[in-house]
Structure 1
Amino acid sequence: MSDCGCHHEAKNAQERKILTIALILNATMAVVGGIAGWIGESTGLLADAADMLSDATAYAIGLVAIGRAASFKANAAMLSGVALLLLGLGVLFEVGRRVIYGAEPDSGWMIGTAILSLIVNMAVLRMLAPLKSAEAHLRATWIFTRADVVANVGVILAGVLVLWLGSPYPDFVIGTLIGLYVVKEAVEILREAREARHNAGGTPE
Structure 2
Amino acid sequence: MKNDPHNDNIHHHHHHHSHLKTGTVNDKNLILTMLLNLLITAAEIAGGLLAGSLSLVSDALHNLSDAAAVAISLMALRFSRRGATLEKTFGFQRLEILAALFNSAVLIAISFLLFKEAVIRLIHPQDINSLIMMSVGIIGLLANTAGALLLRRDADKSLNVRSSYLHLFSDALSSVAVVAGGIAIYFWRITWVDPLLTILIGLYVIKESYEIVVDTVQILMEGTPKGIKLEEIYTSIKSLPGIRDLHHVHVWQLGERQINFEGHIDLEQDISISESEKLRRQVEALLRDKFGIEHIMLQMEYEGCPGRELLCCII
Q: TM-score range by the shorter chain?
A: 0.7 to 0.9
Deviation at 1:150, TM superposition (A): 1.8
Q: How does 1:5-154 map to 2 (within 5 A)?
A: 11=24, 14=26, 16-66=27-77, 67-68=79-80, 69-129=92-152, 130-131=154-155, 134-135=158-159, 137-154=160-177
How far 1:61 moved relative to its partner? 2.8
Please, what is the CA RMSD of the aligned residues? 2.6
Check the 8 A contact 1:18/1:127 in 2, yes or no: yes
- Residue 26 of structure 1 aligns to a residue whose secondary structure is helix
Alpha-carbon distance between aligned partners in 2 of 1:191 and 1:146, rounded to the nearest angstrom: 23
Q: 1:149 to 1:185 in 2, by over 3 A?
A: same
**How many equivalent residue pairs?**
193
Equivalent residue for 1:5? none
Secondary structure, in 3 states, of the residue corresponding to 2:190?
Answer: coil
If you compute each CA radius of gyration, which structure gives the higher value, 1 or 2?
A: 2
Please list the CA deviations of residues 148-191 of structure 1 after superposition, one character each: whole Å capped at 9, or x if unmatched. 11210111111111122212111111111111111111123334
Please report the TM-score for the alignment, with normalisation by the length of structure 1.
Answer: 0.80
Deviation, structure 1 residue 192: 4.0
Structure 2 letter corresponding to 1:62: S
After superposing the two structures, state which structure 1 stretch, 173-182 or 46-55, moved more. Answer: 46-55
Shift of 1:28: 1.0
Other-structure match for 1:200: 253
Partner residue in 1 for 2:297: none
SS of equivalent to 1:18: helix
After TM superposition, the score normalised by the length of structure 2 is: 0.54
* 1:42 alignment partner AA: S
Matched residue, 1:4: none
Point out where structure 2 has 5 or more consecutive residues left out of the alignment: 1-20, 81-91, 223-251, 256-315
Is the contact between residue 71 and residue 200 of structure 1 (CA under 8 Å) also seen in structure 2?
no
Larger RCO (CA within 8 A; separation ≥ 6): 1
Instruction: Give the unaligned 5+ runs of structure 1.
Output: 1-7
Instruction: Report the identity percentage.
Output: 25
Which is further off, 84-93 or 161-170? 84-93
| C-alpha spacing 1:158/1:133, structure 2 compared with 1 (3 Å) | farther
CA 1:133–1:178: 2 relative to 1, 3 Å: farther
Distance 1:100 1:90 in 2: 16
Task: Write the distance in 2 (CA, Å) between the matches of 1:178 and 1:144.
Answer: 13
Provide, for residues 75-99 of structure 1, a one-character-per-residue CA deviation record: whole Å limited to 9, x for no partner. Answer: 3332332233223223222212333
